[in-house]
């Protein structure tokens, strides 16, 4: 392999050690998805039965795509490319390769724009536990609660209120106006950019080398604490009792595949870039498996046995079922109130989540840094500054439109879609452009053991088919409701009707009507469709003249309240549109930049490498 510098694109760095690269990639994979998302998904999707589609997805999608990505990345590194467009273009000199490269830049950077918020929340919670502020909050809220059930209610109510206020979920702009959270976000930003500025070996690798063992150690300590709680077997039973009937539900299969994707963070460019810092004959097969296994250990063993069993033990079945946010930021703090030494364990838990989040977010920044440096010859300082500015603008947007986590939610939705598209593109490129047999040969070069013989068939047919099926099913299931949320007129009508429906419900409250009867009455007055337009002239007087609480102790006429809610809903739908348009515009910009770079700097450096006779013969 050449060690001569190639203009603008010479390989500047290599990983310092095998364990370093494994920990860096595992660091990217291990994150909030392991400790919060996974338990939520498993407990809501059949418990132990969830593991069947989960393991199948791991074998059919997770491991094969990870191997493809590692191989393509290492190959790109041979051409002096550490950036996704360059890596793809070196292997396939066509426009779709640049588009795939642009996608692989887009997804991580956009995820960073909201992930940094979650990261900051974790840090903020850790600080609250460490400084005893949660203890104080609990002491205040439980003062008047008598009996265990009352205590649970008071504590969960307090943590819910704390989460909604502290994390800006109640109103747009509240996070920016509130003061403290901005500093926590800024600090988290700074931590990321300082590490990135130090480079792959001195920054990312050194950080992950101590952060990963430390966070795993903390998680093991907490796991031991949880497993030694009296009656914990009931909690474990609640989490893992298989509900086999759920396997007939397609949603469960989709959830399992989605979890594998999110958790391993494979297929959309992170591993591509990390693998490009490998040397030509460094093993990719075992290295990839080691990183994936570390992720699975953290997910199934550590993530699967802490939160939900403990929540069941202290809060009961109702408290133990929840989505990622509820489980993470409402349930866990509540558990800590009931657990002996809860303050210490709370600080430790959120501290480890913060570390896990940082090791993930670092991996979202490196692809863009590498692109700015390789593609445009920017120095480290300039590339860090440019990326800092771009991500700060995106994060400020997500932070400002924080009511109900609106911007975060929409951004996450589109990222999930683009993630699967990028992964499908990557595996198709591997199987059909490079050629599965050739690709697998390259995969096996320098490997500590060879991949199974059926791998080419799997990569050419099975994995892409599985991915396309996921893509279609996922789009089918989620796209209609999501598109509806982007329709301002419709959202305005739904919101207005809901206000009137509330009045109708209150009006008939005394009669104790069955749900169906209630629906019929509402439909007769307001129209059957949930987005029916309200014709005020046709309403009975009791409804048209009703008043509703408008907040701050004010009463509003129902028409006024409906108009207000409609305006809010309209603006939320517009924000959803801006998120989508913003992401698409960003993708186009990245494609144009990738195109320019491939025509100039990146193209020249690839040709230089080829002229030196280093080219991989399949790359034509
Ligand atoms: N894999 C990470 C987790 O399980 O939390 C999340 C993640 C990291 C998603 C990096 C996307 C990404 F680019």
Q: Flag whether the pTM goes above 0.85.
A: yes
Ligand 1 midpoint to CA 397 (Å): 21
Please check whether residues 506 and 479 belong to one and the same domain: no
Residue with CA closest to ligand 1 atom 11: 265
Please check whether residues 476 and 564 belong to one and the same domain: no
CB contact set of 481 (below 8 Å; sequence gap of 6+) = none
Rounded average pLDDT over 252-258: 89
Here the tokens at position 293 are: 């296994």
Ligand 1, residues 111, 118, 328: which to mutate, most atoms within 8 A of Cβ?
A: 111
Here the tokens at position 248 are: 């007939």
Ligand 1 midpoint to CA 381 (Å): 26
Here the tokens at position 292 are: 């994936």
CB contact set of 449 (below 8 Å; sequence gap of 6+) = 285, 286
Of ligand 1's listed atoms, the one at least distance from the Cα of 38 is: 4
pLDDT band of residue 616 (cuts 50, 70, 90) is low
> How many CA atoms within 13 Å lie on the side-chain side of 83?
33
Please check whether residues 320 and 465 belong to one and the same domain: yes
Instruction: Characterise 94 by phi-psi region: left (phi > 0), alpha (psi -120 to 50), beta (else).
Output: beta
Look at the alpha carbons of 588, 594, 595, 596 in this order and tell me if their dihedral is positive or negative: positive
Q: According to the model, what pLDDT value does residue 614 have?
A: 65
Q: For 455-511, what is each residue's pLDDT tens digit? A: 999 999 999 999 999 889 888 988 899 999 999 999 999 999 999 999 999 998 888
How many domains is the chain built from? 2
Q: For 418-435, what is each residue's pLDDT tens digit? A: 998 999 999 999 999 999
270 and 364 in contact (C-beta within 8 Å)? yes
Please check whether residues 517 and 400 belong to one and the same domain: no
Q: According to the model, what pLDDT value does residue 274 have?
A: 96
357 and 349 in contact (C-beta within 8 Å)? no
Please check whether residues 410 and 510 belong to one and the same domain: no
Place of tokens 């800006």: 168
Answer with the one of 437, 463, 484 that is the final residue of a domain.
484
Question: How far, in Å, CA of 99 to CA of 96, rounded?
Answer: 5
Q: For 213-236, what is each residue's pLDDT tens digit? A: 999 999 999 999 999 999 899 999
Answer with the one of 430, 465, 484 that is the final residue of a domain.
484
Please check whether residues 477 and 500 belong to one and the same domain: no
45 and 256 in contact (C-beta within 8 Å)? yes
Please check whether residues 146 and 50 belong to one and the same domain: yes
Look at the alpha carbons of 136, 141, 147, 150 in this order and tell me if their dihedral is positive or negative: negative
Secondary structure (H, E, C), 371-415: HHHHHHCCCHHHHHHHHHHHHHHHHHHHHHCCHHHHHHHHHHHHH
State the Cα angle at 618 between 615 and 620, rounded to 5°: 80
Please check whether residues 401 and 526 belong to one and the same domain: no
Q: According to the model, what pLDDT value does residue 8 have?
A: 44
Decide if pLDDT at 49 tops 50. yes
Task: Return the number of other C-beta atoms located less than 10 Å from residue 488's C-beta.
Answer: 18
Of ligand 1's listed atoms, the one at least distance from the Cα of 363 is: 10
Question: How far, in Å, CA of 26 to CA of 362, rounded?
Answer: 12
Question: How far, in Å, CA of 179 to CA of 170, rounded?
Answer: 15
Average of per-residue pLDDT values in the chain? 91
Here the tokens at position 583 are: 């992401």
Pocket of ligand 1 (CB under 6 A): 28-29, 31-34, 108, 111, 262-263, 265, 270, 360, 363-364
Ligand 1 midpoint to CA 111 (Å): 8
Ligand 1 midpoint to CA 266 (Å): 9
Question: How far, in Å, CA of 325 to CA of 9, rounded?
Answer: 42
Decide if pLDDT at 13 tops 70. yes
Q: For 290-317, what is each residue's pLDDT tens digit? A: 999 999 999 999 999 999 999 998 888 8
Ligand 1, residues 31, 41, 291: which to mutate, most atoms within 8 A of Cβ?
A: 31
Q: Please report which helix (H) or strand (E) contains residue 73, including its range.
A: helix 63-78
Ligand 1 midpoint to CA 113 (Å): 13
Decide if pLDDT at 619 tops 80. no
Ligand 1 midpoint to CA 188 (Å): 17
Place of tokens 């349930």: 331
Please check whether residues 128 and 236 belong to one and the same domain: yes
Closest CA to 16 of 277, 313, 327: 277
Domain that holds residue 547: 487-620
Q: For 188-216, what is each residue's pLDDT tens digit? A: 999 999 999 999 999 999 999 999 999 99
Ligand 1, residues 262, 352, 408: which to mutate, most atoms within 8 A of Cβ?
A: 262
Please check whether residues 537 and 584 belong to one and the same domain: yes
Ligand 1 midpoint to CA 33 (Å): 7
Q: According to the model, what pLDDT value does residue 164 have?
A: 94
Task: Return the number of other C-beta atoms located less than 10 Å from residue 398's C-beta.
Answer: 24
CB contact set of 226 (below 8 Å; sequence gap of 6+) = 232, 305, 306, 309, 310
Task: Return the number of other C-beta atoms located less than 10 Å from residue 307's C-beta.
Answer: 28
212 and 27 in contact (C-beta within 8 Å)? yes
Question: How far, in Å, CA of 129 to CA of 126, rounded?
Answer: 5
Question: How far, in Å, CA of 297 to CA of 534, rounded?
Answer: 54
Q: For 53-68, what is each residue's pLDDT tens digit? A: 999 999 999 999 999 9
Rounded average pLDDT over 561-589: 97
Place of tokens 């949930």: 530
Q: According to the model, what pLDDT value does residue 12 have?
A: 61
Please check whether residues 23 and 149 belong to one and the same domain: yes
Please check whether residues 136 and 253 belong to one and the same domain: yes
> How many CA atoms within 13 Å lie on the side-chain side of 151?
13
Q: According to the model, what pLDDT value does residue 4 have?
A: 41
Distance of CA 9 to the CA centre of its chain: 31
Decide if pLDDT at 555 tops 50. yes
Answer with the one of 417, 451, 484 that is the final residue of a domain.
484
Q: Give the CATH number of the domain where residue 94 resides.
A: 1.10.4160
Distance of CA 557 to the CA centre of its chain: 41
Strand partners, 555: 549
Q: According to the model, what pLDDT value does residue 70 have?
A: 97
Running DSSP on this structure, what letter comes out for residue 549? E
């Amino acid at each position: 392999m050449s060690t001569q510098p190639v203009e603008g694109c010479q390989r500047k760095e290599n990983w310092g050690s095998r364990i370093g690269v494994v920990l860096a990639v595992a660091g990217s994979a291990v994150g909030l998805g392991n400790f919060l998302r996974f338990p939520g998904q498993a407990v809501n999707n059949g418990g132990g039965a969830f593991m069947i589609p989960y393991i199948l997805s791991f074998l059919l999608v997770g491991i094969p795509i990870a191997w493809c990505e590692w191989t393509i990345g290492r190959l790109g590194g041979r051409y002096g490319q550490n950036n996704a467009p360059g890596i793809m273009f070196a292997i396939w000199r066509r426009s779709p390769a640049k588009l795939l490269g642009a996608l692989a830049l887009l997804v991580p950077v956009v995820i960073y724009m909201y992930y940094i918020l979650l990261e900051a929340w974790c840090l903020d919670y850790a600080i609250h536990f460490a400084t005893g502020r949660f203890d104080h909050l609990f002491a205040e809220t439980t003062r008047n609660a008598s009996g265990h059930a009352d205590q649970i209610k008071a504590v969960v109510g307090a943590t819910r209120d704390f989460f909604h206020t502290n994390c800006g979920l109640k109103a747009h702009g509240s996070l920016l106006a509130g003061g403290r959270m901005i500093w926590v976000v800024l600090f988290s930003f700074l931590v990321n950019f300082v590490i990135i500025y130090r480079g792959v070996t001195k920054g990312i690798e050194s950080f992950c080398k101590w952060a990963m063992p430390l966070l795993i150690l903390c998680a093991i300590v907490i796991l031991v604490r949880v497993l030694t709680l009296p009656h914990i077997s009931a909690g474990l039973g609640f989490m893992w009792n298989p509900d086999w009937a759920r396997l007939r539900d397609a949603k469960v299969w989709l959830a399992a595949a989605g979890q594998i994707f999110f958790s391993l963070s494979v297929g959309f460019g992170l591993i591509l870039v990390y693998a490009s810092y490998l040397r030509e004959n460094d093993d990719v097969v075992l290295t990839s498996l080691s990183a994936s296994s570390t992720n699975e250990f953290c997910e199934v063993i550590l993530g699967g046995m802490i939160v939900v069993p403990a929540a069941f033990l202290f809060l009961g079945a109702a408290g133990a079922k929840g989505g990622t946010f509820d489980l993470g930021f409402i349930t866990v703090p509540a558990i800590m109130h009931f657990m002996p030494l809860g303050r210490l364990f709370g600080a430790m838990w959120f501290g480890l989540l913060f570390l896990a989040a940082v090791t993930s977010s670092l991996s979202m920044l490196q692809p863009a840094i590498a692109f700015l440096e390789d593609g445009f010859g920017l120095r480290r300082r300039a590339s860090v500054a440019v990326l800092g500015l771009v991500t700060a603008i995106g994060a400020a947007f997500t932070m400002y439109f924080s009511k109900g986590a609106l911007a975060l939610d929409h951004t996450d939705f589109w990222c999930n879609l683009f993630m699967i598209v990028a992964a499908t593109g990557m595996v198709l490129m591997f199987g059909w452009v490079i050629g599965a047999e050739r690709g697998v040969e390259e995969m096996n070069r320098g490997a500590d053991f060879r991949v199974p013989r059926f791998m080419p068939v799997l990569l050419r047919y099975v994995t892409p088919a599985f991915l396309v099926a996921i893509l279609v099913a996922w789009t089918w299931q989620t796209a209609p409701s999501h598109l509806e949320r982007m329709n301002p007129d419709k959202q305005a009508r739904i919101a207005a009707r809901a206000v009137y429906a509330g009045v109708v419900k209150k009006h008939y409250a005394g009669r104790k009507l069955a749900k169906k009867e209630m629906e019929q009455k509402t439909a007769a007055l307001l129209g059957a469709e949930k987005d029916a337009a309200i014709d005020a002239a046709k309403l009975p007087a009791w409804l048209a003249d009703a008043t509703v609480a408008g907040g701050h102790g004010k009463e509003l006429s129902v028409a006024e309240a409906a108009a207000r809610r409609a305006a809010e809903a309209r603006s939320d739908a517009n924000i959803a549109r801006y998120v989508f348009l913003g992401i698409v515009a960003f993708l186009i910009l990245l494609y144009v930049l990738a195109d320019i770079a491939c025509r100039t700097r990146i193209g020249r450096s690839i040709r230089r490498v080829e002229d030196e006779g280093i080219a991989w013969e399949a790359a034509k």
